[in-house]
Structure 1
Amino acid sequence: MMKNILMVTIFPIWELIFILHCSLTMKITFASNNITSDMIIPLNIGVIVDEDDKDFGTMSTSCITMALSDFYASHSNYKTRLKIKLINSNGSVVGAAAAAVDLVTNAKVHAIIGPRTSMQTNFLISIANFCQVPIISFSATSPSLSSIRSKYFFRATQSDSLQVKAISAIVNFFRWKSVVPIYVDNEFGDGMMPFLADALQENHINIPYRSIINPLPSSDLEILNELYKLKTMQTRVFILHVPFPLGYRLLEKANDIGMMSEGYVWILTTGITNGFSVLDSSVIESMHGVIGVKSYIPRTKWLKDFLDRWNMSSKHNVDLNVFGLWAYDAATALAIAIENMKSNLQEDNDDAFLMRNSSTSLNNLPVFSSGKDLQESLSNTRFDGLNGHFEFINGQLQLSTFEIINIVNYNASKVIGYWTGQNEIIKNLTSVRDGKYIKAGIDDLEVIWPGNSKIVPAGWVIPTHKGKKMRIGVPVKDESSKFVNFTRDPKTKSPMVTGFCIDMFKEVLAVLPYHVDYDFVPFENSEGKAAGTYDDLVHQVYLGKFDAAVGDITIVSNRSEYVDFTLPYTESGVTMVVPLQETKQKSAWVFVQPLTWDLWLTSGCFFIFFAFSFWVLERDHPNQELGNTPLRQFGKSLWFSFATLYFSHRENVNTVLARSVVIICSFVVLVLTSSYTASLTSMLTVARLEPSVTTIHQVIEDGKVIGYPKGSFVFELLKHQLPNVDLSKLRMFNTHTELHHDFVNGYVDVAFDETPYMKPFTIKYCPKYSMVARPFKAGGFGFAFPKGSIMVSDISKAILDVTEGARMEQIEKAWFGDAENCPDIITKTTSNSLNVKNFRGLFLIVAVVVSIVLVLSALVRGICNRTSLSNNIASLPIYLTTLMNMELLK
């Protein structure tokens, strides 16, 4: 009955000695606590191991044995004792299922720890659910196992769904926009991919290809074929999610064919990194420069003591890794849960199972009568283990902190950062500010990349299967163009491409942090003519004939369905160009136009204020010219004020304060009259260049003839945006020279074209034409790349660097000339009249100064009158009344 059960005889000799020592120790402890061996209830638990993976099996069973020994040594008063029943799964799914059936049917185990892989665990969950026997896995990490939703499955390890956000955060941290996952075609690999794809999508990271590896490749050639395929692709960032034995093998082959050199990025998942030894961080040489995520294990005193004991007892046998620590905690959790069960367990395991009667052997599997109680006890188990706080929530551990490691010096790995579940990479767990971890910068992580490089790789290259150089498609035009001009060398017949767009593209590439090799390829037919329209050129990029398209290609909606455009490097919009005509002012009321109405009104108020101030300052002094009555005096003062316009006043000014006011006001009059004279002279004598048409509505109402460029989308734009336009009023032109000829001969009245074309046109024929409006919007010129191209974001950023600097202006001047000597390219309707804003500073100064003079005059008058009034004033109210009467009688 027990032939297939592997008992402790598969342990090394040192394990037998260790178990014997623990047994003797426990007996002594029992006696000291008045608990005899007769009172102990031994209960069977199953442990499924793979003999094919001897090191992992030996490590995990040793950790489980040590966990139970340590637990019962410190809890000698517990009445239950777990007895390990080991069984081999033969490394297969069927073998694991058969082992589980044997453990439940024959060994009558109360719970099962294991098996090794997610594929085996997937089958065992159904058996455990059917028999109500809890299964605790410390190494099955596939997220798909949780979707089975069995309450009898407990994962005492981290699910792979927890690490995908850490991986996505790393990719986003280094600003890579495309990655290729490499994973095995089984439950372990397929289970994580949906979660990884969603996490990457949240950061707008593209997955252009998924590399699926056979979990049991027949030969190295099978691995090499897939690696060679990856080598020919554009993306250079690989996420490797395979079991660590296969991962070692794959990276060795990648190193052999040069895929561990500078420019490559390898990100390892916990499937490989958790297989690294806890005691010895040595790794294979071919992993130099890779990075990865690894489960974080707090360095507690308890863990240190455990590692010291492990190091002394098994240093030369097997390595200890994270899975061994989880196995230790899983066994501890099971021992606690069984002791805390509500059911009264008996030593006779047969009584704990209920038998079924069925015609098939599988349906005859027994049911653990106390399975539900054990399941509830496991769900409520909480303690601090070797891996930190241990608690099942919905059957899963919730540990979410990961180390970011970097393998350096060809023989060791180092921790360069952490991810704590907050979507931010941090340098260490001690850097906290305002209760939050301090975000790390790229330079903080100090990564050594493949090829022993310290420069962050770009993450992509030009695909080698298309050649070492990019094929850049350029348009071919029938006439010479300053934007893109394609010719051939008369002797060598080699293509020569020049123009504003070409210089912009070269300048943008020079700004990139990496080098790009390319060749310009004309979009021409066998006769050397244009092979199609600009839409056809863009479509060639979509078909893969060109790696990009460069030229005066406008960003429009229908083209964006097939390609990705960079940011525009020119002004956007469709503008209206009209001829400028000379005009002179011929209105009968032109003499009032130099000043606006508000300035006329303000000037009148100023003269009245000046007259009032002059009257206040002069009325107390003998001045026969002003008259005797207050009304006559104010009238004379008003006359005096306006007479200053012509400096024709004859009245004498007696007081010093009045003279100062006259001087200030005379200066204001001088400024106003001079400005008025200059503005009026300009209106009457200077011929002005004004647009013949200013609005598009005027064009439609007056039936103007509209010019549009040949082969452009402007014609369709005009038909859709101007539904009332007469199509007979639309006239096509081919070149700027032809358009100028049409304007001169009156064939067209206005013309519509994109701003980048019309700007050099107005400069060339300055000052004959002007852009008066941009009634329609367009995207401007951009470079076209295939959908999902990684270069788009880099090129767009480089375009901003060029357009914001001085180099852009230099390129424009080189091809289109200097626009500084021309009038404004876009004419704005402005007033030539002077307004209050032009003189508000002058009026403000005069108002302040005159007010100060009036205040001084009042103070002087008050001081002079104080002596004569002091004898008659009995109180302050009487004084104020007397002073007021004196002022009124003057």
Structure 2
Amino acid sequence: MDRAPRAIFFLLLIVDFGVAQNTTSKADEFHVGVILNLGSLVGKVARTSVLLAAEDFYAAHPNYSTKLVLHIRDSMASDVQAASTAIELLENYKVQAIIGPQKSSEAVFISKLGNITQVPTVSFTATSSSLTSDSMPYFVRATMNDSAQVKSIASLIQEYGWREVVLVYDDTDYGRGILPYLNDALQEIDIRVPYRSVIPLSATSESIMQELYKLMKMQTRVFIVHMSTTMTSLLFTKAKEVGMMNKGFVWIITDGVANILDSLNPSVIEAMNGVLGVRYHVPKSQELDNLSIRWSRMYQRDNPDESPFNKLSIVGLWGYDAVWALARAAERVGISSTRNKQTWSSKNSTCLQSMAISTNGHELLTAIVQNKFRGLSGDFDLTDRQQLKVSMFQIINVVGRGWREIGFWTVESGLSRQLNQNGLKITGSASMPDLNPVIWPGESTDIPRGWEIPRTGKKLRVGVLTSGYPEFIKTLRDPVTNKTRASGLSIDIFEEAVKRLPFAITYDYVPFGTADTASSGSYNDFVYQVYVQKIDIAVGDITVRYNRTLYVDFTIPYTESGVGMIVPVREDMINNMWIFLKPLSTGMWFGSIILFIYTGLVVWLLEYLNGNEHVHGPFSLKQLGITMFFSILEEKEKLERFLSRIVLLVWMFVLLVLTSSYTASFASMLTVQKLSPTVTDFHELQKKGEYVGFHRGSYIEGLLVDIGFEISKIRPYDTPDDFYCALSKGSKNGGIAALVHEVPYIKLFLANYSKGYTMVGPIYKSAGFAFALPKKSPLRAELSRAILNITGGDSIIDIEKKWINKKSHQNEDKIDDSSAITFGSFGGLFLLTGIVTTFSLSVAVLMNHHKKYQQNTGGKGNDQNECAHGQQGEDGVSLGEQADQNSDEQEKCRDTGNEPTFAVPHSSNTNSDQLPDSKNKNIGCRSTENRIAPEVWSVGNPVN
């Protein structure tokens, strides 16, 4: 029905071209085949663009000697039909180039024909990455490769913090071609793809809805759609019906649909509200606006039944520029006149035997790929036979019946809200995505989390393993419901964390191994069940270990970390004859004694300099006793100097504090029974060759071997009762000297067996207990936040009180062997008394030195009064004062050394009243001259 009008249209078109040629000059016809799916939107847009491009090119170049003659054929969306039309064009019209085909699968077969006949095939719609010039040398891609957009999609996912995505694509070369490149881009930013949804071309509405229901049962809520326009329209229409275009869902479409979004049916666009898209960015220009107007007129003329809202897309621009490139190459090469000299034959086919090989095909191919110009779609460069130089994409958000721009992606700057003239990033935010606000599905403005626990479908499989300590976790099977039940500290924390999640989840407990044995399986095997997807989460007293993180992810720990030792304690009975020395440390004793002696010497020296009669005389044991006496007791009648009293007062204060502390510490040692661990270092166990124990099935065995313990010295045990019995026996009696265990287990053991045992350590660091989830599980972050909320509040205290018996056990903390008072504890007091003592001594020495200096200065200034100054008579009056009163007697005294002396015997008739005066006078002279004997009186006869 449609072939007759189309044939008439083609004839009219050829006639129009012929008339145009006759009006100017005779131009050689350059036959070109155009294969498009004229029933599709892309085919209709491309057909109008190709025809308009040929019209505009020769209008701009009227003097060209060649002119393209376009033979448009409909592939009818069939690879076979496309191949058939290609053969028909090559055979009947001897076309020297083929534009199209539209689909990548069609391009594969037609390009093989082009390789044989050496006819270049130029496609501006086949974007599959599987089409390469290596296998098809005569294929030229005048559009971008699908792989060019994968980094922009990956950046968009990373920007919003999503960790998992589901790929939705159709089962075609176009759909599958992007997968390797998209997977690589997602792996680079550590994004997981848990599922791939493949939609066959024969899919019906029912089959698509079944697939959508399957997607709804998954946790992931981020979907990347890479499908044809027809399948995309059907997918989103059904997605809206099943409720997958509501709040919480994220849909991202690739450029195949985003580029022609304006031409989609309005009802489809409305169903796609909230969708994000990546499309090729076309710079705006006046020429592009003029072309769009003329294109719209031609499109409506050729397609009167189509929507008037269809616009010129990037596909049409690529087709427009491709025709210009081919027209330029045809003018450069010219028309081949020897095409029929070579033929290609096949034994199995007769219709292909008449197909000739183009003699100028290689030359034409070279001219095509050498085209470099600024087209309406941007920089048009086919140097590598592919239009790969795409460095900018536009990020759009479908809103209402159209779309809005939310940002850009460039190779240099990544995502940005807007671009400057150089295409570089302008604005950004460290806390929020550097894009304009998005209206998400369901008309929500909140950024979707990217995952949800489905309300329908299977429940979470929570794996549980009975621990050697039932207080942590214990499992049993309900005989009535036949369901597994679990209890313990780990279970209470898990269930409390689930209650605090911002969403509701349902789960069932799945036991690992048998529930009636504590050691039903190793913890490594238990964690491995998560990796092989037999359970969704492993709950229990699971220690975070490096080898386990290779397979699963852990929440934050909910218990303390570390590995310690349980060792017996020994009693220190008060039977030591030197127990009185224990309250003070060795350093304290020596420091006190040294300060004791130093203070006594300083006080003695201060009194000695002051002339105290108690300290004068030669040094002896008596002087030593006095020195010691000054440091202990203060007797004011024996201390004559003020500085001495100050020094002794400070020292007494220090002694008061020291004796009080000594008394308190000594009383504590005599009244409180002291306990000390038998072992304080695991190296001590190695040196003595002692046996150590560990919990069977735990990683402690490997840890002990790594530390350096011999395997023969390591003994495994199963239950806390076994630990207690082994520790009670001791290493020499078939038991162990210490049990190496994790801190949470040690505290639980000491709660029940506190008497006689204590903890030493931690001797090794560990991360504590946590829950195991699959790699990249979105539930991990939510559970970790909930656990952090529990352990940071009062809930953890109530849970521990419920499962760990809080008995009064004084051995829970690490015992300190040394409780004596140290010298550093009294450093401040000793520093005070030292400063005061040294300062007092310094002041006394300076004062004594100053006094001697003054005396020496006074004696030199008055030599004449040398005999009188500083002396006293028996009556307490100084001779200097007598000299002032009786100058005559002073003259006699001064002339004594020059007069003869006479001995006067003692007589009973001597006048007693004159005797004292004469005696005083002669004493004054005798003290000046030592030449007169004490028993002789010298009388001087002055010469008048």
User: Separation in 2 of the partners of 1:843 and 1:74?
Assistant: 105
Residue in 2 that maps onto 1:403: 394
Counterpart residue identity of residue 323, structure 1: V
Query: Is structure 2 residue 780 aligned with structure 1 residue 795?
Result: no
Task: Using the TM superposition, name which of 574-583 and 500-509 deviates more.
Answer: 574-583
**Residue equivalent to 2:260:** 275
Change (3 A) 1:101 1:847: farther
**Cα distance, 1:768–1:647 mapped onto 2, change above 3 Å:** farther
Q: 1:481-880 residue pairs with structure 2 within 5 A?
A: 481-485=470-474, 497-520=486-509, 532-533=520-521, 546-554=535-543, 565-584=554-573, 622-624=610-612, 643-644=630-631, 652=639, 654=641, 667=653, 671=657, 674-675=660-661, 678-679=664-665, 682-683=668-669, 686-699=672-685, 724=710, 730=715, 732=717, 734-735=719-720, 750-766=738-754, 768-774=756-762, 780-785=768-773, 789-816=777-804, 823=810, 825=812, 827=814, 831-835=818-822, 837-840=824-827
Shift of 1:552: 3.2
RMSD of equivalent CA atoms: 5.4
Q: Give 2:172's aligned amino acid.
A: N
Is 2:258 the partner of 1:266? no
* SS of the residue 2:108 aligns to: helix
Once the two structures are TM-superposed, the CA of residue 188 in structure 1 deviates from its matched residue by 0.6
> Residues 71 and 376 from structure 1, CA distance in 2 versus in 1: closer, same or farther, beyond 3 angstroms?
closer
CA pair 239-280 structure 1, distance change in 2 beyond 3 A: closer
Report how far residue 245 of structure 1 moved: 1.1
Q: Does 1:143 align with 2:133?
A: no
Please point out which of 406, 410, 414 is paired with 1:416: 406
Q: Structure 1: which amino acid aligns with 2:212?
A: L
What one-letter code is carried by the residue in structure 2 that aligns with 1:388?
Answer: G
- The 3-state SS of whatever aligns with 2:337 is helix
| Structure 2 spans left out of the alignment, 5+ residues | 301-306, 347-351, 858-944
Alpha-carbon deviation of 1:788? 6.7
Contact 1:137 1:157 in 2 (8 A): yes
Q: CA deviation at 1:161?
A: 0.8
1:196 counterpart (162, 182, 189): 182
The 3-state SS of whatever aligns with 1:144 is: coil
Given the superposition, is the C-alpha separation of residues 777 and 863 from structure 1 closer, same or farther in structure 2, using an over 3 Å criterion? Answer: closer
Given that 1:505 and 1:550 are in contact with CA atoms closer than 8 Å, whether structure 2 keeps it comes out as: yes
Q: 1:613 to 1:407 in 2, by over 3 A?
A: farther
Within 2, Cα distance between the matches of 1:275 and 1:126? 29
Letter in 1 for 2:258: T
Are positions 1:326 and 2:315 aligned together? no
Structure 2 CA distance, aligned partners of 1:838 and 1:455? 60
* Structure-2 separation of matches of 1:849 and 1:355: 123
User: Deviations along 1:498-535, whole A, 9 cap, x unmatched?
Assistant: 3211211022223333221224466697x988894466
Relative to 1, partners in 2 of residues 1:803 and 1:151: Cα closer, same or farther, differing over 3 Å? Answer: farther
Separation (CA, whole Å) in 2 of partners of 1:822 and 1:530: 27
**In the alignment, structure 1 residue 162 sits paired with structure 2 residue 151:** no
1:434–1:131 Cα change, 3 Å: closer
Deviation at 1:174, TM superposition (A): 3.5
Q: Does 1:37 align with 2:24?
A: yes
Moved more, 853-862 or 360-369: 853-862
Matched, 1:381 2:369: no
**Contact 1:136-1:330 within 8 A present in 2 as well:** yes
Pairwise CA distance, 1:276: 0.8
- Alpha-carbon distance change, 445 to 622 in structure 1, aligned in 2, over 3 angstroms: same
What is the CA deviation profile of residues 362-399 of structure 1, one whole-angstrom value per residue up to 9, with x for unaligned ones? Answer: 7954235374475366346142x333333346333321
Amino acid at match of 2:771: F
2:888 alignment partner in structure 1:
none
- How far apart, in 2, do the equivalents of 1:74 and 1:858 lie? 116
Q: Which residue of 1 aligns with 2:910?
A: none
Amino acid at match of 2:142: A
Structure 1 residues 439 and 369 mapped into 2: Cα distance closer, same or farther (>3 Å)? farther
Distance 2:14 2:419 in 1: 41
Counterparts of 2:743 and 2:653, CA distance in 1: 48
The 3-state SS of whatever aligns with 1:143 is: coil
Q: Distance in 2 between the 1:224 and 1:644 partners? A: 102
Q: TM-score, normalised to structure 2's length?
A: 0.72
8 Å contact 1:401–1:419 — kept in the other structure?
yes
1:117 aligned residue: 103
Shift of 1:108: 5.5
Look up the SS of the partner of 2:680 in the other structure: coil
d(CA) in 2 for partners of 1:455, 1:618: 89
Contact kept, 8 Å, 2:38 with 2:44, in 1: the verdict is: no
- Relative distance call for 1:825 and 1:444 in structure 2 (3 A) is farther
**Matched pairs, number:** 836
Task: Determine whether 1:236 maps to 2:221.
Answer: yes
Q: Equivalents in 1 of 2:359, 2:495: separation in Å?
A: 75
Q: Give the match's secondary structure for 1:209.
A: strand
Task: Quote the Cα distance in structure 1 between the aligned partners of 2:762 and 2:526.
Answer: 27
Q: Is the 8 A contact 1:431 1:438 kept in 2?
A: no
CA shift, 1:227, in A, is: 3.4
Contact 1:572 1:755 in 2 (8 A): yes
Please give the alpha-carbon distance, in whole angstroms, between the structure 1 residues aligned to 2:52 and 2:561.
73
How do 1:237-252 residues align onto structure 2 when only pairs under 5 Å count?
A: 237-252=222-237
Aligned to 1:31: none
- Extract unaligned runs of 5+ from structure 1: 28-35, 871-890
SS of corresponding position for 1:165? helix
Partner amino acid, structure 2, of 1:9: F
Which residue of the partner structure matches residue 32 of structure 1?
none
| Partner of residue 186 from structure 1, selected from 167, 172, 185 | 172
Alignment of 1:38-117 (within 5 A): 38=25, 44=30, 46=32, 48-70=34-56, 82-100=68-86, 107=93, 111-117=97-103
Give the deviation of 1:241 after TM superposition: 1.1
Change (3 A) 1:664 1:500: same
SS of residue in 1 equivalent to 2:322:
helix
8 Å Cα contact 1:110/1:371 also seen in 2: no
Superimposed CA distance per residue, residues 523-581 of structure 1 (whole angstroms, 9 cap, x where no aligned partner): 697x9888944668667767766544433345568877886654443234553212333
Contact 2:96 2:119 in 1 (8 A): yes
TM-score by length of 1: 0.76
1:834 Cα offset (Å): 4.5
Distance 1:799-1:8 versus aligned 2 partners, 3 A rule: farther
Query: CA, structure 1 residues 88+770, in 2 after alignment: closer, same or farther (shift >3 Å)?
Result: same
